[in-house]
Amino acid sequence: KVVAVIMVGGPTKGTRFRPLSLNIPKPLFPLAGYPMVHHPISACKRIPNLAQIYLIGFYEEREFSLYVSSISNELKVPVRYLREDKPHGSAGGIYNFRDLIMEEDPSHIFLLNCDVCSSFPLPEMLEAHKRYGGIGTILVVKVSAESANQFGELVSDPVTNELLHYTEKPETFVSDRINCGVYVFTPDIFTAIQGVSTQRKDRANLRRVSSFEAMQLDTRNIPTDYVRLDQDILSPLAGKKQLYIYETTHFWEQIKTPGMSLKCSVLYLSQFRHTTPHLLATGDGTKSAAIIGDVYIHPSAKVHPTAKIGPGVSISANARIGPGARLISCIILDGVEIKENAVVIHAIVGWKSSIGKWARVQASGDYNAKLGVTILGESVSVEDEVVVVNSIVLPHKTLNVGVQDEILL
């Protein structure tokens, strides 16, 4: 049997995701019409002999209960949310629930970060892992040399694929091959985490007798049960024939900012074209709006037949799109109203916001720039004919004059 664990973090994480994370836990923010965490969960469906999926985080139980029960029914695989009382770090989090995770007596455990966007080649990773042996295999991707320092950089053996060297977010360049935050482990991973935790406890005891020792330790302020997968486990195990890599050439992105969530929504829409085309709007029929490229429209949304939608557009529940509106590369959240002849390009329009007639909400579409995507928080009102360019607008604001390159608090 195999189990999968998805790390969802908690309310003190995901701060770069504001203002969108003010309304909803980041893992539930919709990309291509489905919660961020839904994409790795549905990828898990392809794992042979999958017995359970666990989400581990420190959000309140009730924030995930609805989603978890509906996805369990839909997938026919039990999905459970396990709440930590406090953050234990990415490895400490799974260690904390090791007894529960081991109940199914799994031969392998997948571990996935929830804030990455990928085609998640999980069955392929498992096959590779079985060939390599060792305690784990890491999904790896090549990125540009300039961006590599935002990730865990690693070096592997080109022939055996063994992980030889690992450094988390290094200051000087090590490699353009990076850790995707997707792993498959054998249950021996728990022994490795326990090793780190025990070592910490021993040092903490030592420190009580020697203040000199305390000065030597850079880990002195870290609680003994807080274990990071990258620094504390991957780095020391590199080069010991325990860890291997599986390199993907498919898409992979990290989702830390609202701008990146738009990029990933567009990526998932184009993946739907290949995997689940029935989820995309077709634009068939005389009463339908003109649909261009990959577009998701929730069944409860009302789109006027003279509107023109796409490519890269996702429209959530109960949104209303008026006559002649033009939408390109955007996420329209629940209950939004877009009035006649308004234009939305490279933008995220927050819950229950309204965009007036002939108004424009747009941005350059440079996903990595701070203001490359225009973001409107919840219940923002853009009045008729107002133009909003490259800006972030916090919830409940009314805009009656145009703005450009601004963050409106």
| Under 8 Å between Cβ of 382 and 397 | no
Q: Say what angle helices 188-209 and 89-96 make with each other, to 10 degrees.
A: 110
Query: Residue 25: helix, strand or coil by DSSP?
Result: coil
Q: Interacting stretch for ligand GDD, rule CB under 6 A, among 177-185, 195-203, 257-265, 312-320?
A: 177-185
Q: Which long-range contacts (CB under 8 A, 24 or more apart) does 342-347 make?
A: 346/262, 346/372, 346/373, 346/374, 347/262, 347/373, 347/374, 347/375, 347/376
116 binds ligand GDD (CB under 6 A): yes
Q: Residue 367 Cβ, how far from ligand GDD at the closest point, in Å?
A: 15
Q: Residue 115 Cβ, how far from ligand GDD at the closest point, in Å?
A: 5
Nearer to ligand GDD, 5 or 399 (CB): 5
Nearer to ligand GDD, 115 or 162 (CB): 115
8 binds ligand GDD (CB under 6 A): yes
Nearer to ligand GDD, 256 or 326 (CB): 256
Nearer to ligand GDD, 12 or 73 (CB): 12
Q: Cα–Cα distances in Å, from 153 out to 165, 172, 205, 271? A: 8, 10, 33, 27
Q: Interacting stretch for ligand GDD, rule CB under 6 A, among 83-91, 262-270, 375-383, 384-392?
A: 83-91
> Minimal CA–CA distance to 268: which of 71, 34, 74?
34
Q: Interacting stretch for ligand GDD, rule CB under 6 A, among 41-49, 89-97, 237-245, 384-392?
A: 89-97
Nearer to ligand GDD, 26 or 339 (CB): 26
Q: Interacting stretch for ligand GDD, rule CB under 6 A, among 178-186, 192-200, 270-278, 312-320?
A: 178-186
Q: Interacting stretch for ligand GDD, rule CB under 6 A, among 88-96, 277-285, 292-300, 325-333?
A: 88-96
Of the residues 87, 236, 283, 395, which one makes contact with ligand GDD according to CB under 6 A: 87
| Under 8 Å between Cβ of 314 and 30 | yes
Q: Residue 6 Cβ, how far from ligand GDD at the closest point, in Å?
A: 8
> Minimal CA–CA distance to 22: which of 379, 347, 377?
377
Of the residues 230, 232, 294, 378, which one makes contact with ligand GDD according to CB under 6 A: 230
235 binds ligand GDD (CB under 6 A): no
Nearer to ligand GDD, 52 or 374 (CB): 52
151 binds ligand GDD (CB under 6 A): yes
Nearer to ligand GDD, 174 or 292 (CB): 174
Instruction: Report the alpha-carbon distance of residue 296 to residue 405 in Å, rounded.
Output: 29
| Under 8 Å between Cβ of 253 and 115 | no
Nearer to ligand GDD, 10 or 310 (CB): 10
Question: Which amino acid would we find at residue 103?
Answer: E
Instruction: Report the alpha-carbon distance of residue 191 to residue 188 in Å, rounded.
Output: 5
130 Cβ contact partners less than 8 Å away, ≥ 6 residues apart: none
Helices (H) and strands (E) in the chain, counts: 9, 31
71 Cβ contact partners less than 8 Å away, ≥ 6 residues apart: 38, 41, 79
CA dihedral over 71, 67, 318, 321, signed as positive or negative: negative
Contacts to ligand GDD by CB under 6 A: 7-9, 13, 56-58, 84, 87-90, 93, 113-116, 151-152, 168, 178-181, 230, 254
